[in-house]
């Protein structure tokens, strides 16, 4: 298996101050470089950038998956199980979950914990963890 390289993801936010409080404060991502219109963060070793666009519009869309309405598009990180549990516990009561933290495919191939929530600009995030991370791409 090839060593994973950090990805780069840049997203729009409608208010840089709110987004900075969310990503740097609540999510505890380490801030890197910034300007008056963008900020980059260390998102679990990946370069994640927010760019202010005060006129941004998000049109919510959903896809039915495992009996839940999953927001699309969405992004996030596959965490280690204990990291996921810690994050889920830390966020309870601090974010409004689109899909509450739960475990999918319990006892099956691909067993995974997942949760979905929105940032202040309406961008959908999913954080998940696999009971056995080698099953990430197993069919």
pLDDT for 3-29, tens place per residue? 889 999 999 999 999 999 999 999 999
**Beta 46-52 vs 8-13: how paired, if at all?**
parallel
Whether 120 maps to a domain, the answer reads: yes
Q: Are residues 66 and 104 in the same domain?
A: yes
The pTM of the full predicted model, rounded to 2 decimals, is 0.92
Whether 15 maps to a domain, the answer reads: yes
Q: Are residues 41 and 82 in the same domain?
A: no
Q: Are residues 85 and 118 in the same domain?
A: yes
Whether 57 maps to a domain, the answer reads: no
The residue segments making up the domain with residue 87 are 62-135
pLDDT at 8: 97
Q: Are residues 15 and 66 in the same domain?
A: no
Q: Are residues 48 and 67 in the same domain?
A: no
Q: Are residues 17 and 71 in the same domain?
A: no
- Mean of the pLDDT values across residues 66-80? 94
Going by C-alpha positions, the residue among 117, 20, 135 that lies closest to residue 74 is 117
**What's the sign of the alpha-carbon dihedral 51, 54, 55, 60?**
positive
What digits encode the pLDDT tens for the residues 77-91? 999 999 999 999 999
Beta-ladder partners of 34 = 39
pLDDT at 59: 84
Q: Are residues 34 and 79 in the same domain?
A: no
Q: Are residues 16 and 38 in the same domain?
A: yes
Q: Are residues 90 and 42 in the same domain?
A: no
Q: How many domains does the chain have?
A: 2
């Amino acid at each position: 298996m090839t060593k994973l390289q950090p990805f780069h993801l840049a997203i729009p936010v409608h208010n840089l101050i709110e987004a900075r409080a969310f990503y740097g404060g609540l999510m505890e991502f380490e801030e890197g470089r910034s300007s008056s219109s963008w900020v980059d963060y260390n998102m679990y070793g990946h370069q994640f950038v927010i760019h202010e666009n005060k006129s941004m519009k998000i049109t919510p869309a959903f896809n039915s998956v495992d009996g839940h309405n999953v927001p699309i598009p969405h992004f996030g990180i596959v965490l280690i199980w204990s990291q996921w549990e810690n994050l889920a516990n830390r966020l309870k009561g601090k974010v409004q979950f689109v899909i509450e933290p739960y475990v999918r495919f319990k006892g099956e191939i691909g067993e995974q914990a997942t949760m979905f929530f929105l940032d202040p600009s309406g961008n959908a995030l999913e954080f998940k963890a696999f009971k056995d991370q080698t099953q990430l791409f197993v069919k």
